[in-house]
Structure 1
Amino acid sequence: MEEPPYHPIEPCNFDLILSNTGFPLSIIAAAASIAGKSVLHLDPSPLYGSHYSSLPLDSFISFSQNSNPNPSPYSSPDMPDEEADYRALTVEYRPLFSAFELSTHSSDHLGPSRSFNLDLSGPRVYLSRDSTVDLLLRSGANNYLEFKGMEATFIWYEDGLFMVPESRNAVFRDQKLGFLEKRHLTGFFKLIREGGFDEREMEGSFVEFLEKKGISPLIKSIILYAIALADYDQEKPKDHNNLLSTRDGVESSSLYLSSVGRFPNAPGAFIYPMYGQGELPQAFCRCAAVKGAIYVLRMPVIALLIDKETGHYKGIRVSSGQDLFSHKLVLDPSIAVPPKVFSPTELHNKEFEGLSLDNAIKTPKLSKYVARGVFLTRTSQKPGLSTLLVVFPPRSLYPEQMATVRALQLGSNASVCPNGMFVVYISTPCDDAAKGKEVLRAAMNVLFMIPDAISSENLTPTSEGVQREGKPVLLWSALYIQEMIEGSSNPVYYCPTPDEKLDYRGILNSATKLFHEMYPSEDFFSQAAAMESSVENDINSLD
């Protein structure tokens, strides 16, 4: 057989192998490396980040057109090897992003492709005092990152944009809020900071808690959707499982308020990584590499290696044809593998009758979808502001809108686009592609002037009447759907896909839980050298 066009990976035995360099896998790789485990981290892409990547414009367009994610293996994944004590079980790749609609709305040249860093799973930001930022400080990953503070947050209410005040002084300076609304918001800020809640109140719903306090509708929307960051309708919920408890609402509000002004050059609650969110997994990959982890890009996994006698996981085969072995394996949900490997004894039991290793291949559980959009303009949503967030509460765009819509605008000072341009990310959770895109188009009509035929053909009747003066002219847009898939474990571990949240806390919690399931006796980043007191100055250098 012809020699493969790759250098062999050495050594070939590891404690842990991971495939795809998304955010949760990169955290696990860094934590395992710091805990002294031997780690091999692979990615089929030439870029770090996987579904959390930030791509140049041409690469983003190419990604949207790649309908077949399965790699072409150098050798047959199921190539028999009679002498080996294992057999190869083929895996399949499936796209998590689909239904792309790319549109050019202007003949203007957009600028060099490499001047763009477009997030695949935006919008996403950090709260300055959340667990993700604390982990950056504790692990030393902040040494590989720079940040940009968000300048303002707005909420869409009764066909108008209202700025969200983030402090008592900002409330009193606000020209749009009435006296009663200012009183309600400052009273809420004081309540959150002083605490002293009745334990019985904490178990009810947060929206009922606010209503009992007599808080006005506008301030209630600000608190629920711009401060507590509720993702779904809290007043007329479709699913009561999506209701925020008072405890969760108070904790989220407290986190938001404590994040305001944490860093000198980020006066608000939110920060964003310079050069795009793809920098975040790269930072943790660098932490892992410093501790000895091996990284190989352009190297997809094409098969699992299964012990012939026990039926247990043994290793992987990569596209070069090389077989690699590990005690544990973590995969991205885009790779379809058996959720359980059955032993020969189990396969003879009546309970497992008819099952085999080959037909046991299933994908992790699909929970729901996220509709996402990327938009390019030459003017800001608000003159004089470059980085800002716009929140559309449920039912604010039209009556059937059941979930929050968020729009994140970033300018060239965040190093995500050429000078004189702005990138806007919009997302909302949805039940299917058609409904998700309907909501995106309603938000598009509020935020942008759309100069070509798409503005009349694709807008829904419910959103046609919404007009706003001074809207930026839309130059280019991409709408698409992302599947949300839950993580799982044993015998092979899966990380979850990007979720519908604005921040990273849920993703970090999933990665932390997975690490403890794999290594229950190990501490999470316990040996990280950075101490908060010594590295706080590094992260304080926000631009």
Structure 2
Amino acid sequence: MSSNNRRPSMAERRSSVTQESGGTHPQRRPSVVPHLAGLEKPIPESIPDQFDVVIAGTGLAESVLAAALAWQGTNVLHIDANSYYGDSTATLTIDQLKQWVQNVNSNKVQGYKDALLYIPSGNELSARDFGIDLTPNILFCKSDLLSLLIKSRVYKYLEFQPLSSFHFYENDNFEKMTSTKQDIFTNQTLSLVTKRSLMKFIKFALDWEAHPEIWEPYKKKSIETFLSEHFKLEKTQIFELIFSIGLCNNNEIQTPEALLRIKRYLVSFDVYGNFPVMYSKYGGAGEISQGFCRSAAVAGTTYKLNTRLVSFDPKTKIAQLSDDSKIHVNEQIIISPSQAPTGSKFKPKQQYQIQRLTAVVKKECTQWFQDGESAAIVVFPTGSLDSNNKHAVQAIIMGDGTGITAKGTCVWYMSTIETGDQGRKDLEAALQNMENSILRESSDLDTQDFLDDTHTGALNSVKLGQSFRDFVPKEKIQYLLKFYYVQMTSIPHAGVVVPEQYRKNSTYVEEDVDAPDRGVIYSSLPSSEISYDGVITAAKVLYEKIVGSDDDFFDVDFEDDEDDSSISAANLDSAIADSGAGPVEFADDMEL
């Protein structure tokens, strides 16, 4: 993909939108607000000296918060120390990535450590051809973020594409996931007894809350025990449900939490097509963050990049900014831990780690994708790697159709919650297995050795299911980039989102201690969750701290208001509507 053909990022497509606003405690906006048309105004040389709320950091949760406050009439100043939007959820160009790594290793970026960037000599990567997500995520088709994207009309700033290919690695094999009735019926490797058990469980999982007599005896037991003892499932199917469908980090997760995650996947099918998740084209959370920032700007929020909070005096309510301006803050200051002032004393402890390894390879990797798609999920369950991993390694694979990588290349995003040297070993072991898979499938082999899975339209299900043990690669894969780093967070690696996890951070500090962050409320850095679950919860917790309740969170009507149920895949992105997928059927009373 040449830089001339690549669609620019939102930051490149649309200039920062700013709007001067002043006064204290403005009246609430009318219940009907105008269509989110583009309001382009020159960046002001100076900003007002008084705001209701100052938000430091343009991460996704902070950007959702800014838009929610702005549409309810709050006078918001939204700043970011970086020259780009997204903060810890940004999508970075190659040049920005190089600078980011230097900043992390010189302690100029908080919340990250041990950043390593490898670009082989001779690889001149065009900055505009790549967009690397710091926090890659997938979007379930039935989720609170997608509902808010539709309600707020922010989805109109974005493009989404479907993802239906999920693979998991076990016993030296890659297997394509079996989750729908069609998959179960046509899978010749499953016994009749296993098929019946899978059907029975999937039917139960779609409405598990209504059957406490089944799951409550296992409430404090692991999901693996529940599936094995009650549904008599075999280990392969159990791991598939836990790690691929549930996207859990390990098999010790308790039964109710795992059932919530499994149901999340199942109910997301057939909402917009024959796929459970989507992703934002041209960038993930960074692109969505900019969409909410744009919405906030339309509603009156003032934006200022390259600006950080230096200090805040809760007695005088004066905030000192890095551009030497002083702002009177009528209500609250919200700040991301990544943007904490120098000398801060109240920043929440970031005690949990996510280790990430991102690789850009010179391969299209279409073998991983469903026909008409450009992305896939690969999961390495507990104990599946030579490194004897205790936690899953999760990988999001994105091809050149995603708009984040050059033609003929692919981005592999891998992550684990394992800490220390073991975590890095797990990532490297997973990377090696993915490399072997792509090399084997692209090698010059007799195509008659493989069956064409006509039920899925993908050629790879049998090939991915072959063992690596006897495979000797004839070539080496060409890496254009390798990027490793440790991401810190204060959010536990929990199976489900709990608001209390975020409330612990968002505490107003009233201690009489001389500190530049006294009196501010901290937001949370992104969690280890591979989906966007938790983002809206985090934003609502902060909104409640400021307003007193989240009852009117985005409680606005738009002049172009539509019935949400009428919003089809075509409204979100024509690529979804063109996916050609039929409806998906899950377990019912059909006999096997």
**Match runs of 1:30-179 below 5 Å:** 30-67=67-104, 94-105=109-120, 107=122, 109=123, 111-122=125-136, 124-179=137-192
Per the alignment, residue 408 of structure 2 pairs with 420
1:199 offset after TM fit, Å?
4.3
Query: 1:21-50 deviations in whole A, cap 9, x for unaligned?
Result: 000100111111112111110011121101
**Which SS does the other structure have where 2:530 is aligned?**
coil
1:167 offset after TM fit, Å?
1.3
1:430 offset after TM fit, Å?
2.5
CA RMSD of aligned residues (A): 2.7
The answer to whether structure 1 residue 541 and structure 2 residue 574 are counterparts is yes
- On the 8 A contact 2:243/2:392 being kept in 1, the answer is yes
CA shift in 2, pair 1:528/1:175, >3 Å: farther
**Which SS does the other structure have where 1:477 is aligned?**
strand
Per the alignment, residue 501 of structure 1 pairs with 529
- On the 8 A contact 2:57/2:339 being kept in 1, the answer is no
**Match runs of 1:252-267 below 5 Å:** 252-264=261-273, 267=274
Q: Which protein has the bigger strand share? A: 1
1:383 offset after TM fit, Å?
2.0
CA shift in 2, pair 1:286/1:7, >3 Å: closer
Of 195-204 and 317-326, deviating more is 195-204
1:106 offset after TM fit, Å?
7.3
Per the alignment, residue 479 of structure 1 pairs with 484
Per the alignment, residue 437 of structure 1 pairs with 424
Give the TM-score taking structure 1 as reference length: 0.79
Per the alignment, residue 283 of structure 2 pairs with 276
- On the 8 A contact 1:263/1:542 being kept in 2, the answer is no
- On the 8 A contact 2:57/2:336 being kept in 1, the answer is yes
**Which SS does the other structure have where 1:501 is aligned?**
coil
Q: Matches of 2:297 and 2:50 in 1, distance apart?
A: 17
Q: Which runs of 5+ in 1 are unaligned?
A: 1-5, 71-92, 235-242, 309-313, 339-357, 451-464
Give the TM-score taking structure 2 as reference length: 0.73
The answer to whether structure 1 residue 323 and structure 2 residue 326 are counterparts is yes
Q: Matches of 2:412 and 2:238 in 1, distance apart?
A: 26
CA shift in 2, pair 1:528/1:542, >3 Å: farther
Q: Matches of 1:472 and 1:506 in 2, distance apart?
A: 40
Query: 1:220-270 deviations in whole A, cap 9, x for unaligned?
Result: 001111112212342xxxxxxxx23x3322222222111113213xx2211
Q: Matches of 1:208 and 1:472 in 2, distance apart?
A: 42
- On the 8 A contact 1:105/1:474 being kept in 2, the answer is no
- On the 8 A contact 1:375/1:474 being kept in 2, the answer is no
**Match runs of 1:346-385 below 5 Å:** 361-381=345-365, 383=367, 385=369
- On the 8 A contact 1:128/1:259 being kept in 2, the answer is yes
Q: Matches of 2:425 and 2:385 in 1, distance apart?
A: 10
Query: 1:477-523 deviations in whole A, cap 9, x for unaligned?
Result: 11111111343321321111111111011232222222122212451
**Which SS does the other structure have where 1:307 is aligned?**
coil
> Which of 252, 257, 274 is the aligned partner of 1:248?
257
- On the 8 A contact 1:447/1:472 being kept in 2, the answer is no
The answer to whether structure 1 residue 305 and structure 2 residue 305 are counterparts is no
Q: Matches of 2:396 and 2:476 in 1, distance apart?
A: 14
- On the 8 A contact 1:449/1:472 being kept in 2, the answer is no
**Which SS does the other structure have where 2:238 is aligned?**
helix
Q: Matches of 2:189 and 2:114 in 1, distance apart?
A: 40
- On the 8 A contact 1:426/1:440 being kept in 2, the answer is yes
Q: Matches of 1:148 and 1:190 in 2, distance apart?
A: 28
Letter in 2 for 1:284: F
Query: 1:27-84 deviations in whole A, cap 9, x for unaligned?
Result: 11111111211111001112110111111122112211224778xxxxxxxxxxxxxx
Q: Which runs of 5+ in 2 are unaligned?
A: 1-42, 438-467, 492-504, 509-518, 577-592
The answer to whether structure 1 residue 209 and structure 2 residue 222 are counterparts is no
Per the alignment, residue 294 of structure 2 pairs with 286
Query: 1:453-475 deviations in whole A, cap 9, x for unaligned?
Result: xxxxxxxxxxxx97867798141
CA shift in 2, pair 1:468/1:174, >3 Å: farther
Letter in 2 for 1:146: E
Letter in 2 for 1:391: V
> Which of 392, 396, 404 is the aligned partner of 1:408?
396
Per the alignment, residue 520 of structure 1 pairs with 548
- On the 8 A contact 2:57/2:335 being kept in 1, the answer is yes
**Which SS does the other structure have where 2:323 is aligned?**
coil
Of 521-530 and 280-289, deviating more is 521-530
> How many residue pairs were aligned?
464
- On the 8 A contact 1:263/1:540 being kept in 2, the answer is no
Letter in 2 for 1:541: S
CA shift in 2, pair 1:473/1:30, >3 Å: same
- On the 8 A contact 1:381/1:472 being kept in 2, the answer is no
Per the alignment, residue 12 of structure 2 pairs with none
The answer to whether structure 1 residue 489 and structure 2 residue 507 are counterparts is yes
CA shift in 2, pair 1:250/1:214, >3 Å: same
The answer to whether structure 1 residue 532 and structure 2 residue 564 are counterparts is yes
CA shift in 2, pair 1:467/1:436, >3 Å: farther
- On the 8 A contact 1:8/1:322 being kept in 2, the answer is no
CA shift in 2, pair 1:315/1:219, >3 Å: farther
**Which SS does the other structure have where 1:366 is aligned?**
coil
- On the 8 A contact 2:336/2:522 being kept in 1, the answer is yes
**Which SS does the other structure have where 2:318 is aligned?**
strand
CA shift in 2, pair 1:533/1:218, >3 Å: same
1:541 offset after TM fit, Å?
3.1
Q: Matches of 1:381 and 1:174 in 2, distance apart?
A: 24
- On the 8 A contact 1:377/1:421 being kept in 2, the answer is yes
The answer to whether structure 1 residue 187 and structure 2 residue 215 are counterparts is no
Of 23-32 and 507-516, deviating more is 507-516
Of 137-146 and 165-174, deviating more is 165-174
Letter in 2 for 1:101: L
